[in-house]
A and B are shown apart, each in its own frame.
Chain A
Amino acid sequence: MRRTPQQLRASLERELAPVYLIMGDEPLQSMECQDAIRAAARSRGYADRTVLDVETGIDWQALRFTADSLSLFSSRQLIDLRLGDARPGTAGAEAISRYCEQPSPDAVLLISSGRLDGKTLQGGWVRAVEKQGVLVQVRPLKAGEMTAWVESRLRARGLGATPEAVRLLADRDEGNLLAAAQDIDKLALLAGGRTIDVGEVVAAVGDSARFDLYALPDSAMAGDAARAVRMLRGLREEGVEPVLVCWGMTRELRALNLLAQGRRPEENIPGYKMFGQRESLLRAAAQRLGVEKMRRLLREAIRIDRVAKGAAPGEPWGELTGLCLGLAGRPLFQNS
């Protein structure tokens, strides 16, 4: 029979089917359905668990063999058959169908799979599973459903939030339930019983973004090119605007440029401070690069700023990567 994830959870409290198929390409729901089945099996004494991974190659006879091999320590076992994005093929389809005709009396078979197309869904093995057990299809939420999902998730964690906060969270994590679930877990720790408002959502997310932005020029100045490039990619994936990254880089380049000329950045850049370890980091970098190179890097930064703002042709992230490498002393081209 077919069930929704919610129906599945309710049914697990009553009974355990011999076969489950969880399919769909929404990882969070898929994971949570599988976890619920594993937990339900464990609490009913299915202490042994065997994982059969299809993507890494499988001999399909292993399914029957595993089900038929009795264990010394537990009389019941869960067989975790992971299809992933692989298809069972003829041999697999037959093995699963055969198993469903004669499921082992003391095993639960849990099949997890990515999205299955319409043709596969009509295929023999899926029908065999449906006849003998439970089929759960998880699908990504539609754009309009996200808000309701966030709201119910917050409620389930015992959290209250203003409608604006819910909307902001839904917007930020749209299409990524895993991230949303993590953000909600994080907020649960931070809020500590209070109602969550927009400010709290912004703060919980803004903090980490700011940290990365400032750490980027530092690692480039320290000469750690690999780390700088990795951070840049992280920022890009985070969705930070290249204009902002460029601003952060330019600010440090101006300071370095002044240092290289023997002038004091504090006196020439409003609000700029440097002390302790950062001062020695800056001084070392300025000395390493020298006046001429610094001037060239700064000119580069100004051009990239125009690229990022759409005032000059080019691709800002690629350009920024070049700038970071230059600052790290590993220029892409010898004369830059």
Chain B
Amino acid sequence: MKVTINREVLLGPLQVVNSVIERRQALPILNNMLIVAEKDKITLMATDMEVEVVTHIKNHVQIQGSTTIPARKFIDICKALPADTEIHLEVKDNRAQLKSGRSRFTLSTLPASDYPTLGGIQPQLKFCLPASILKRLIGDTQFAMAHQDVRYYLNGMLVELGEQRIRMVATDGHRLALSDAEISTGVKENTQIIIPRKGVMELWHMLPEHDVEVEVQISQNHFRAAMQQQEITTKLVDGKFPDYTRVIPAKGDKVVKTERDALRQGLARTSILSNEKFRGVRLTLKKGMIQALAHNPDQEEAEEDIEVEYEGQEMEIGFNVVYLLDALDAIRSEKVQLEFSSPDKSCLIHAIGGDMSKYVIMPMRL
């Protein structure tokens, strides 16, 4: 195999592929990335046996071939080379030689035939949607996914497909985020899959800001999102997601309307003096305002009056302020609505106007 490629062309795809590779690997070959050079295309691929990422680069190939080389070292070398240089990569006698300007490197290789690739999956479902919509759906919900929870099915994102709708739901048991998009999926009956946390995050980072078509393929055990030059495939979580519809509260009798930014900034200020690890704040709903109160083990105290539209009864309720801030950060509209019912019942937050996303947060006893 022999190719010459510009550093700037290589670096982007290299970083996309590299982020899949886990730092500590049981199988040595999983520290490597697969490089395939054929005709006028170079393909990079990496996997951790759960998530597989493939990127294609259009580039001239002098000698076709394939190999696997240590990914981290390869990318570190490319990053350290001066900008806009040409990188020559040649594989000879099981060694990969890297030359650029006056630098020369020799990397070890492992045979490409040993690299665990998924290849084709048998999709039972296939549809296309714009990348921006997929990116919004994930961005609106991903923060609520559980992290290393014993309820393994919460360490991922529920994707529910209806004929004209795609819905994503994430929850860690204390808060829940839900987001909808209207998309013609061609699904006959409602289908639910759970994409593992890592796959969700990789996909999110990979999706471009500008608009391109993404083809989604779903098979029995895999989810694949394919774009023109990139493709990500992840295993699905084999488990049953809890019935989320049950925990979305009916309209509460205490409805607060407010400017999103004012509320967010007020809470952010108050949170500074909440307990550093366990971020409790006490909210008091009063006519025309929310009073936020936090104190920490050092007996320091923060108090903030936030102006809101509220006409209901006075009520005190405690929250993990991080959950509130996460939800307010994800909402993009200027005004938000918060619905409460009682101090031990969940609170529903959504945007006013165009409420495609909903956030449910359980209170804390303070």
- Residues on A close to B: CB < 8 A? 48-49, 51, 59, 61-62, 65, 67-73, 104
Residue of B nearest to A104 (CB): B365
Interface assignment of B357: CB less than 8 Å from any CB of chain A: no
Residue of A nearest to B242 (CB): A73
Q: Which residues of B, 245-265, contact A by the 8 Å Cβ criterion?
A: 247
Of B55-63, B74-82, B168-176, B303-311, the segment with at least 4 beta carbons within 8 Å of chain A is: B168-176
Residue of A nearest to B174 (CB): A69
Residue of B nearest to A73 (CB): B242
- Assess whether B278 is in contact with A72, with CB atoms less than 8 Å apart: no
Give the distance in Å from the alpha carbon of A269 to the alpha carbon of B340 in the complex.
88
Interface assignment of B277: CB less than 8 Å from any CB of chain A: yes
- Assess whether B320 is in contact with A72, with CB atoms less than 8 Å apart: no
Q: Would you list 30 pairs from A and B whose C-beta atoms are within 8 A, ordered by A residue?
A: A48-B173, A49-B150, A51-B150, A59-B277, A61-B277, A62-B277, A62-B278, A65-B277, A65-B280, A65-B364, A67-B365, A68-B364, A68-B365, A68-B366, A69-B174, A69-B320, A69-B362, A69-B364, A70-B346, A70-B363, A71-B362, A72-B173, A72-B174, A72-B175, A72-B176, A72-B247, A72-B346, A72-B360, A72-B362, A73-B247
Give the distance in Å from the alpha carbon of A71 to the alpha carbon of B174 in the complex.
5
Residue of B nearest to A59 (CB): B277
Interface residues of A, dominant DSSP: mixed
Residue of B nearest to A77 (CB): B173
Please give 10 more A-B residue pairs, beta carbons under 8 A apart, in addition to A61-B275, A73-B247.
A62-B277, A68-B364, A69-B174, A69-B362, A69-B364, A70-B344, A70-B362, A70-B364, A71-B362, A72-B171
- Residues on B close to A: CB < 8 A? 150, 171, 173-176, 242, 247, 275, 277-278, 280, 297, 318, 320, 344, 346, 360, 362-366
Please give the distance in Å from B361's CB to the nearest CB on chain A. 9
Give the distance in Å from the alpha carbon of A138 to the alpha carbon of B334 in the complex.
61
Residue of A nearest to B278 (CB): A65
Please give the distance in Å from B297's CB to the nearest CB on chain A. 8
Please give the distance in Å from B243's CB to the nearest CB on chain A. 9
With most chain B CB atoms within 10 A of its CB, the pick from A48, A65, A69 is: A69
Give the distance in Å from the alpha carbon of A68 to the alpha carbon of B320 in the complex.
10
Residue of A nearest to B297 (CB): A61
Please give the distance in Å from A64's CB to the nearest CB on chain B. 8
Query: Contacts of A61 on B, CB cut-off 8 Å?
Result: 275, 277-278, 297
Give the distance in Å from the alpha carbon of A59 to the alpha carbon of B364 in the complex.
18
Give the distance in Å from the alpha carbon of A48 to the alpha carbon of B320 in the complex.
19
Q: Inter-chain contact count A-B, CB under 8 Å?
A: 47
Give the distance in Å from the alpha carbon of A71 to the alpha carbon of B364 in the complex.
9
Residue of A nearest to B366 (CB): A68
Please give the distance in Å from A82's CB to the nearest CB on chain B. 14
Give the distance in Å from the alpha carbon of A59 to the alpha carbon of B279 in the complex.
14
Query: Contacts of B346 on A, CB cut-off 8 Å?
Result: 70, 72
Ranked 6 nearest A-B pairs via Cβ: A65-B278, A68-B365, A70-B362, A72-B247, A68-B364, A71-B173
Please give the distance in Å from A80's CB to the nearest CB on chain B. 10
Residue of B nearest to A48 (CB): B173
Please give the distance in Å from A75's CB to the nearest CB on chain B. 9
Please give the distance in Å from A294's CB to the nearest CB on chain B. 37
Residue of B nearest to A66 (CB): B278
Give the distance in Å from the alpha carbon of A68 to the alpha carbon of B275 in the complex.
14
Give the distance in Å from the alpha carbon of A76 to the alpha carbon of B275 in the complex.
24
Please give the distance in Å from A126's CB to the nearest CB on chain B. 24
With most chain A CB atoms within 10 A of its CB, the pick from B320, B363, B365, B366 is: B365
Please give the distance in Å from B360's CB to the nearest CB on chain A. 7
Give the distance in Å from the alpha carbon of A197 to the alpha carbon of B360 in the complex.
62
Give the distance in Å from the alpha carbon of A16 to the alpha carbon of B364 in the complex.
24
Please give the distance in Å from B140's CB to the nearest CB on chain A. 18
Residue of B nearest to A67 (CB): B365
Residue of B nearest to A74 (CB): B173
Give the distance in Å from the alpha carbon of A71 to the alpha carbon of B280 in the complex.
15
Please give the distance in Å from B154's CB to the nearest CB on chain A. 9
Please give the distance in Å from B279's CB to the nearest CB on chain A. 9
Query: Contacts of B365 on A, CB cut-off 8 Å?
Result: 67-68, 70, 104
Query: Contacts of B318 on A, CB cut-off 8 Å?
Result: 68
Query: Contacts of A62 on B, CB cut-off 8 Å?
Result: 277-278
With most chain B CB atoms within 10 A of its CB, the pick from A49, A59, A65 is: A65
Please give the distance in Å from B322's CB to the nearest CB on chain A. 12
Give the distance in Å from the alpha carbon of A48 to the alpha carbon of B364 in the complex.
16
Query: Contacts of A104 on B, CB cut-off 8 Å?
Result: 365
Give the distance in Å from the alpha carbon of A48 to the alpha carbon of B174 in the complex.
11
Give the distance in Å from the alpha carbon of A104 to the alpha carbon of B344 in the complex.
13
Query: Contacts of A69 on B, CB cut-off 8 Å?
Result: 174, 320, 362, 364
Give the distance in Å from the alpha carbon of A49 to the alpha carbon of B175 in the complex.
16
Give the distance in Å from the alpha carbon of A51 to the alpha carbon of B149 in the complex.
10
Please give the distance in Å from A169's CB to the nearest CB on chain B. 36
Query: Contacts of B360 on A, CB cut-off 8 Å?
Result: 72
- Assess whether A70 is in contact with B278, with CB atoms less than 8 Å apart: no
Give the distance in Å from the alpha carbon of A67 to the alpha carbon of B364 in the complex.
9
Please give the distance in Å from B180's CB to the nearest CB on chain A. 19
Please give the distance in Å from A77's CB to the nearest CB on chain B. 10
- Assess whether A73 is in contact with B173, with CB atoms less than 8 Å apart: yes
Give the distance in Å from the alpha carbon of A69 to the alpha carbon of B171 in the complex.
14
Please give the distance in Å from A21's CB to the nearest CB on chain B. 23
Query: Contacts of A70 on B, CB cut-off 8 Å?
Result: 174, 344, 346, 362-365
Query: Contacts of B173 on A, CB cut-off 8 Å?
Result: 48, 71-73
Residue of B nearest to A64 (CB): B278
Residue of A nearest to B360 (CB): A72
Query: Contacts of A65 on B, CB cut-off 8 Å?
Result: 277-278, 280, 364
Query: Contacts of B363 on A, CB cut-off 8 Å?
Result: 70
Please give the distance in Å from B318's CB to the nearest CB on chain A. 8
Give the distance in Å from the alpha carbon of A69 to the alpha carbon of B278 in the complex.
10
Please give the distance in Å from B31's CB to the nearest CB on chain A. 24
Please give the distance in Å from A30's CB to the nearest CB on chain B. 21
Give the distance in Å from the alpha carbon of A88 to the alpha carbon of B280 in the complex.
24
Query: Contacts of A51 on B, CB cut-off 8 Å?
Result: 150
Please give the distance in Å from B276's CB to the nearest CB on chain A. 9
Residue of A nearest to B365 (CB): A68
Give the distance in Å from the alpha carbon of A59 to the alpha carbon of B278 in the complex.
10
